[in-house]
Structure 1
Amino acid sequence: MTEDVALVLDFLNTVDRERGTDLLDDPVAWDGWLAERGLARGDVDPAGVRATLRAAVGDPVAGVRPVHVPVTASVVDGVPRVVAPDVVGAVLAAASRLVVLGRWDRVKVCPADDCRWAFYDRSRNHSRTWCSMQVCGNRRKARGWRERAARR
């Protein structure tokens, strides 16, 4: 499961609102990302799939569209596996495994407008809101305090 979480989060975080960068816009960086994970490009637009998955985990600015990608179920060394030939299939297979394990609802997007970083909620009661309480959560709390103080 840890590998699935890492792959899904890495894919969702190929866009960085704070820095204003998108790995998918840089073919060399995207190829490096794929090579690091042993994945191949595919025929399906990864940006559209990323937006759909980000919307599914709570990103209010991401768009949703239907995505259909072929995957293969096989048994290797006595273990059933779902495999895919490319990055989009691998990410969707990993996300599907999280759904089957009841862990998909732990993948979340930080609500900070200048962040929107995807993270995995490891809290016992699934209540984590911010990607980092030390950064985004603290900024939001400080902003709220300043606004309340200014109204007084």
Structure 2
Amino acid sequence: MELLLAFLNTRDLEIGADVLDGTAAWRAWVSERGLGDSGDLVAVRAARTALRRSLGDPHEGPDPAIVATIVTVDLSHGVPVLASADALGAVLGAAARLAVLGSWERFKICPAESCLRAFFDRSRNRSRTWCSMQLCGNREKARNWRERRALQAIT
């Protein structure tokens, strides 16, 4: 789950950084996680776009090209484990595993325009909206309150 969240959040709007803007940054990200080969950056970008769009991110643009990679099932330790020789396969294997386990619906995109971070909804009834109530949720509620207050002052 953490690998998938980290991948979905390789772009940070608040600081204006995107790991997938350059090969060196992507290779460093892959190396930090011990994921083997960094693979084709164009396919990696397309995969991030497709995954974020599937979670409802409205800012990802048009549908990307079909993304495919090789993911195998490793039985060497007696337990089936999804494996891949490259980082994209590891990420997509993790996404597939979470989908099979029924956890995919708990991945969401924060609706705050300045954030849009992916997060995992751990709430019992799956109703969490914001990546952080202390940050994005609080900002949005404060903004709504100010707007309502301004309307009351006019009337």
1:26 Cα deviation (Å)? 3.4
The residue that corresponds to 1:27 in the other structure is 23
State the distance in 2 between where 1:16 and 1:50 align.
Answer: 13
Q: Per-residue deviation at 1:17?
A: 1.0
**CA-CA distance at 1:93 after TM superposition:** 0.3
Aligned pairs, how many? 148
What whole-Å deviation, never above 9, does each CA across 1:1-47 have from its counterpart, x for those lacking one?
A: xxxx1000000111011111101113332222111111221135211
Q: CA RMSD, aligned part only?
A: 1.3
The structure that has the greater radius of gyration is 2
**C-alpha displacement at 1:72, in angstroms?**
1.2
Deviations 1:46-74 (A, max 9, x none): 11111111111121111433222121123
Find the counterpart in structure 2 of residue 58 from structure 1: 56
The structure, 1 or 2, with the larger RCO (C-alpha pairs under 8 Å, 6+ apart) is 1
Residue 14 of structure 2 corresponds to residue 18 of structure 1 = yes
More displaced stretch, 108-117 vs 23-32? 23-32
Instruction: Indicate the residue corresponding to 2:82 in structure 1.
Output: 82
Counterpart Cα distance in 2 of 1:27 and 1:76: 32
Corresponding position of 1:36:
32
Distance 1:138 1:130 in 2: 9
Larger displacement relative to structure 2 (44-53 or 90-99):
44-53
Cα separation, 2, equivalents of 1:25 and 1:74:
32
* 1:46 corresponding residue in structure 2: 44
- Normalising by structure 2, what TM-score? 0.90
Are 2:26 and 2:38, in contact at CA under 8 Å, matched by a contact in 1? no
Which structure 2 segments of 5+ residues have no match? none
Structure 2 residue identity aligned to 1:119:
F
Query: If the length of structure 1 is used for normalisation, what is the TM-score?
Result: 0.92
Structure 1 ranges of 4+ moved more than 4 A: none
Distance 2:129 2:112 in 1: 10
User: SS of 2:75's equivalent?
Assistant: strand
Q: Aligned partners of 2:23, 2:15: CA distance in 1, in Å?
A: 18
Write the letter of the residue equivalent to 2:69: V
Q: Equivalences for 1:111-122 in 2 at 5 Å?
A: 111-122=111-122
Identity of aligned residues (%): 55
